[in-house]
Amino acid sequence: MDLSQKDWQSQLEEDSNAVILDVRTADEWSEGIIPNAVLNDIYKGQAFIYRLEELDPSKNYYVYCKAGGRSAQACAIMNQMGFENTYNLEGGFMNWKGPVVFPEE
């Protein structure tokens, strides 16, 4: 499901069962992330799928990329794999107005 920036952030703040999934590349990740995000680069192909298989499908996944295209694709893949609650950040990280942190090296 696509959510606006405002709805994605407000829903995330109220969700105690949330996982934030960043599907950008490692280079993009190093430029800043939404706090508590987990990296799983969609461009890694089968490795991306393997990492999804390790996730708990009962959690709620808030997925983002740079502009919203890759994360929409990731949500579709996750839904096919049995993840019921995936939320795509419309407009992606480049339009994010919420908190940003830099990942530990």
Alpha-carbon separation of residue 91 from 41, 87, 95 (angstroms): 18, 12, 6
Distance of alpha carbon 81 from alpha carbon 57, whole angstroms = 9
Distance of alpha carbon 70 from alpha carbon 63, whole angstroms = 9
User: 21, 42, 65, 74: which one is catalytic?
Assistant: 65
* Whether 75 is catalytic: no
The residues carrying an active-site annotation are 65
